[in-house]
Amino acid sequence: MSEVYGSAPVLSLEEGAGVSMKRMIPSSGGPISGKGSSWTSPSVPSVPSAPSASTTSSSSKKKKRGSERVVGVKGEKGLEGVVDSEAYMDLVIFEKKLDSTIMRKRLDIQEALKRPVKQKRKLRIFLSSIFLPGKEEEDGTSSGGSWELRVEGRLLTDEKLPSDFSRNKKKFSSFIKSLVIELDKEMYGPDNYLVEWHRSPSTQETDGFQVKRPGDKNVRCTIILILDHQPLQYKVDPRLARLLGLHTQTRPVIVSALWQYIKSHNLQDPHEREYICCNSFLKQIFQTDKMKFAELPQRLNPLLYPPDPIVINHVISVEDFRHSDQKKTACFDIDVELDDTLKTQMNSFLLSTSSQQEILSLNSKIHETVNSIVSLKTSREFYLRFANNPQLFISKWITSQSRNVKAITDTKDYEQRKTDFYYQAWAQEAVCRYFYNQVKKRGAELGISEGFFDI
């Protein structure tokens, strides 16, 4: 065999914050004085305020996922009353369902990729030979001719397969681990009757092989093909093969089939579950009465052999070419296993990150928009309450701030229980102001003008 041909080059087989009222907080935490004696009013914390744009911009830096956009900002109640907020919430709920569905599908795909998904296909092998007559010499004699044998392979296509399958079709050499062509030993001698090709890490795939040899007589040859199984397959010992119904399979499939046989025949020890009690068939195969389940892979090793090679007997009919120049071709079909065509698409789907970056960017924009809407809604409600009833709003505001003053100024209740607390200057003025306001209010009710009495 002198060269390899096909679509590959010829090779030698030998080789949150907003607008807020200003706080009035005393610097010392004491009373605010007036009239020379320093009248004091309690300090007031700020009223619940609308968020400002500065706080919104700082809080929007915290990126949240789609399911946390509303709950993480103000809760779902933050958008109540906003136009089209119900439609937005429906979209958020739908997005949660979609995210969970996609996540489940991703997990399903990951589990599917862990198991070897194979498709059985037909590989057609073509054996063709031609005869090349010798050249005539000047003296009228002619040199002996030569023949050429070609071994080609092509995967049969299926109309149901996707259109891109033919573009990614594997070459013939990718299905075989080694190829041996055995010629007539008596005709070509012990050093030239064998032609071998073996796969190596640097092998360049090709669509076929060819062998050229001198000769003008029919030649019997044997072509031996060893398939390249991925993952590796093994031929099962005939005794175990009859028991399990397997001939050639991968090691995990063989172990699984043996385990199913053990379970179906209740061969596990009832007291020590890690032991297997062999029946008459397993005793004959494993030569033991009892063994641990963990020993199965080790005990299977002597019962697994390399797969049988594919042997093709062929005759190169050189004499027929003397009567006809037509090329003769013989075809043989063998079964091969291919990876599922969806496996590449599954891998690309799991490894794809372009859409994830776009989704994160959109989530960030939605988060900022929702924060801005909630801020504007809070500001609107703040000013609307003040515009509708300023007196009630201020009263509630003062009451709210009075409750918070103790926390801000850290005032202790026990100080108010002492009499010295009420002998301060602000207390006397506060009492005078209180009685003055009460007299004025009572006078207004009785129709008495300020400083005068009607008689």
pLDDT for residue 266: 92
Final residue of a structural domain among 324, 339, 354: 339
List, for residues 182-237, the tens digit of each pLDDT value. Answer: 998 888 888 888 999 999 888 888 989 999 988 888 889 999 999 998 889 999 99
Kindly state whether residues 61 and 140 are assigned to the same domain: no
Q: How far apart are alpha carbons 204 and 4 in whole angstroms?
A: 10
Instruction: Tell whether the model's pLDDT for residue 125 goes beyond 50.
Output: yes
Kindly state whether residues 210 and 312 are assigned to the same domain: yes
Q: How far apart are alpha carbons 41 and 318 in whole angstroms?
A: 122
Kindly state whether residues 218 and 155 are assigned to the same domain: yes
CB distance 109 to 350 below 8 Å? yes
Final residue of a structural domain among 305, 330, 359: 305
pTM as predicted: 0.54
Burial degree of 142 (CB within 10 A; 0-12, 13-18, 19+): exposed
pLDDT for residue 137: 63
Candidate ranges 54-68, 127-141, 186-200; pick with highest mean pLDDT: 186-200
DSSP code at position 147: E
Kindly state whether residues 143 and 223 are assigned to the same domain: yes
Kindly state whether residues 353 and 397 are assigned to the same domain: yes
Instruction: Tell whether the model's pLDDT for residue 309 goes beyond 80.
Output: yes
Using pLDDT thresholds of 50, 70 and 90, give the confidence band for residue 139: low
Higher pLDDT residue, 115 or 313? 313
Stretch among 44-58, 119-133, 348-362, 387-401 having the lowest mean pLDDT:
44-58
Using pLDDT thresholds of 50, 70 and 90, give the confidence band for residue 74: very low
Question: H or E stretch including 118?
Answer: strand 118-132
Tell me if 62 is assigned to some domain. yes
Kindly state whether residues 31 and 126 are assigned to the same domain: no
pLDDT for residue 451: 54
Using pLDDT thresholds of 50, 70 and 90, give the confidence band for residue 150: very high
Kindly state whether residues 261 and 211 are assigned to the same domain: no
Tell me if 265 is assigned to some domain. yes
* Number of domains forming the structure of the chain: 3
List, for residues 372-412, the tens digit of each pLDDT value. Answer: 888 888 888 889 999 999 999 998 888 888 888 877 776 56
Using pLDDT thresholds of 50, 70 and 90, give the confidence band for residue 162: low
Candidate ranges 14-18, 26-30, 71-75, 128-132; pick with highest mean pLDDT: 128-132
In Å, what is the CA distance from 207 to each residue of 124, 129, 150, 171, 175? 12, 16, 11, 5, 10
Mean pLDDT of 103-126: 84
Higher pLDDT residue, 133 or 65? 133
pLDDT for residue 241: 93
Using pLDDT thresholds of 50, 70 and 90, give the confidence band for residue 98: very high
CATH code where residue 270 lies: 1.10.245.10
Candidate ranges 4-8, 339-343, 345-349, 436-440; pick with highest mean pLDDT: 436-440
Using pLDDT thresholds of 50, 70 and 90, give the confidence band for residue 72: very low
CATH code where residue 313 lies: 2.60.40.1970
Higher pLDDT residue, 53 or 80? 80
pLDDT for residue 214: 87
pLDDT for residue 140: 56
Kindly state whether residues 109 and 182 are assigned to the same domain: no
Instruction: Tell whether the model's pLDDT for residue 329 goes beyond 90.
Output: no
Tell me if 107 is assigned to some domain. yes
Kindly state whether residues 134 and 214 are assigned to the same domain: yes
Stretch among 22-36, 50-64, 214-228 having the lowest mean pLDDT:
22-36
- Number of Cβ within 10 Å of residue 54's Cβ equals 10
Using pLDDT thresholds of 50, 70 and 90, give the confidence band for residue 301: very high
pLDDT for residue 306: 93
- Torsion angle of C-alpha atoms 423, 425, 426, 427, degrees rounded to 10: 30
Strand-pairing partners, residue 150, are: 128, 210
Tell me if 258 is assigned to some domain. yes
pLDDT for residue 453: 47
Q: How far apart are alpha carbons 12 and 15 in whole angstroms?
A: 5
| Structural domain harbouring 28 | 16-116+346-411
Q: How far apart are alpha carbons 11 and 205 in whole angstroms?
A: 10
Kindly state whether residues 261 and 351 are assigned to the same domain: no
Sequence length of the chain is 455
Tell me if 407 is assigned to some domain. yes
In Å, what is the CA distance from 151 to each residue of 124, 181, 212, 228, 451? 11, 10, 12, 17, 129
DSSP code at position 194: E
Kindly state whether residues 151 and 189 are assigned to the same domain: yes
At residue 441, what is the residue type? Answer: K
Mean pLDDT of 306-320: 87
pLDDT for residue 89: 87
Tell me if 185 is assigned to some domain. yes
pLDDT for residue 97: 94
Instruction: Tell whether the model's pLDDT for residue 144 goes beyond 50.
Output: yes
Burial 421-433 (b: 16+ CB within 10 A, else e): eeebbbeebeeee
Q: Is the CA virtual torsion 198, 203, 206, 211 positive or negative? A: negative
Tell me if 406 is assigned to some domain. yes
Tell me if 440 is assigned to some domain. no
Mean pLDDT of 22-38: 36
Kindly state whether residues 314 and 189 are assigned to the same domain: yes
Final residue of a structural domain among 379, 395, 411: 411
